[in-house]
Structure 1
Amino acid sequence: MARLAWVAAAAALVSMLASFASAQSSGGDDILEQVINSPPVQSWQVTGLRATPRPVRAEGVVGEQAIRVAVPRAGANPWDIAGRMTIAGAIRQGDTILLAVWARAHTPPEGQRFGLISGVRVEQSTAPYTAIAQDSATVPSEWTLVYASGVAQQDYPGGSTNVSVHLAGAAQTIELGPAFVLNFGPDYDAARLPRNVAPE
């Protein structure tokens, strides 16, 4: 996607974070400087399936594309099927990290209204897969942002971390849109960042 489109995408993210972001993050260009990954859906890889699903048209989400991940049955582990995205930027000890992923339940688990994302993580990409930011979320059929935030306890060189979204907690189909990983640097008040709220 062209830079202009991603400025618009970042501006949309800022509007979603308006009550949480600092004054320095109030504009699209500013927040783009804090993005340390490549957000488009083409950056997703899906583990646990034979092939990563191709992007599909998705109205109502930034970029109007998503990947649709069909989980045929609950896995022995929630990460048995997962969306993953490499993070190119470096993370230093003390940096405050926010992950914001657009997601929705295309087909929720049988008898349920919402999809289950057992893990939303920024993590070390090799064992022991240390989490820098982590949470879980339930998602409705409408596009919503799900979050994870945390403070890095050590340095991670660029390319040594990734986004990991665990989808095998139930038989379901989840759509994933763009994912933004933002590094607010050290001495940022992580309590100001958004948290996941269960849909009603």
Structure 2
Amino acid sequence: MTAPLAAQDNAAIKELDAQLPGELVNDPSRIDWQSYGADLEASGVVDESIPGGGAARRFEVKRAAEFIYTAGTNVPLTKPVNRGDTITIGFYARTVSADTDDGRGIVRVRFQQNAEPYPGFGEETVSIGTDWEWYEVSAEAEQKLRKKDGIVAIQFGRTRQTIEIGQAIIVSGSGTIAGKGPVTVAAARSETPELEMPDSVKGAGTLLNNPAQARWKFGGSAGTYVNREEPEIWMMQATRFEVAEPGTTLTDLYATVPIGQAIKKGDKLTIAIAAKSVATNAADGKAVAASRIQGTAPPFESFASNRFKVGDKWQLIKIQTQAPRDYTPGGSELQLYFGGSEQQVDLGPVYIFKTEE
């Protein structure tokens, strides 16, 4: 497997750190932050017009909750921050839509420990405009934030809204970063690490999708989903889906994998899904998941519906199918479902091939 992207980005991060006030205490090249919320969909956005590297995370809060902390994203620290130090976060953001009187999004920034009872400090509510802008929040640390569980929480669950958050920079020892925006920034990690292909599917055909997860959509009310690094799988990224309550619906916890290339009627397709069961109450110790390909426009017709079991070791699940009609580039997507049972499933890269004859 290739080296982690963090190592490849190290030189750029050191160069940025030398130009910033205070000490850099996060990895600004990362935007694959942990996100949470039963009524939240998180996905990646890649566009050269996005400041700070051309990439952002989109957060769609589908239903407002009573408390703002019920949905959010956590930016992890890479170095500890001591009690009494000044800590500042700066980030690019914009509001796509919001159910507010002025159309501006609402987020709350909180410096905290990501472990029970989640102690924190420096809470500040920020109004996010509709154009890309640079926002900063600063506070004096009321407790030590450790490297292993120190985070800056950006919370937004009290408002039905869609916001995008781009590159984030966190420093210790300074009450400001750059006012209206950094002069020099490290490129935010955008779409995908270097493509890695399992040996068993090399030469399988033409790859129709991006196997990495930065541009996928995740959502559903049946449980939670968390993006995480996974050194044991190709491209070292995975998403953990967890259903903790019985009586949920299979389709109410899902991942959506865009298919960027065109598909013609009669095309033979091979789907290869990397997955592992982490925990399950099933008697055979295997989690249950399902998949289907569907159109992205009405009437959203689907094909290749499959249900499959996932063992407790990383495996590549292969599905063969044939397209019933034509799909334009971006006109189809693969849906993967993980609800319906009390279980935890890790989803790694997914490969969709048009099989060569």
1:38-88 Cα offsets, whole Å, 9 max, x none, are: 223433121114887332114232111011111011112111110112212
Structure 1 residue aligned with 2:79, among 80, 89, 101? 89
Structure 1 residue aligned with 2:66, among 73, 76, 79? 76
Q: Give the number of the structure with larger relative contact order, counting CA–CA contacts within 8 Å between residues 6 or more apart.
A: 1
* Seq. identity, %: 21
The alignment of Structure 1 onto Structure 2 pairs a total of residues equal to: 172
Q: Secondary structure at the match of 2:20?
A: helix
Unaligned 5+ runs, structure 1 = 11-27
Structure 1 residue aligned with 2:56, among 44, 51, 66? 66
Structure 2 residue aligned with 1:42, among 22, 31, 53? 31
The alpha carbon displacement at 1:160 in A equals 2.2
2:91 is aligned to 101
Task: Within 5 Å, give how 1:85-164 maps onto structure 2.
Answer: 85-109=75-99, 111-117=101-107, 119-164=108-153
Letter in 2 for 1:65: A
The alpha carbon displacement at 1:7 in A equals 7.0
| Higher helix proportion | 1
TM-score of the superposed pair, with normalisation by structure 1: 0.73
Structure of greater Rg: 2
Q: Secondary structure at the match of 2:31?
A: helix
Root mean square deviation, CA, Å: 2.9
CA contact (8 A) 1:99 1:121 kept: no
Task: Within 5 Å, give how 1:27-38 maps onto structure 2.
Answer: 29-31=18-20, 34-38=23-27
* Residues 1:100 and 1:177: Cα distance change in structure 2 (over 3 Å): same
| Higher strand proportion | 2
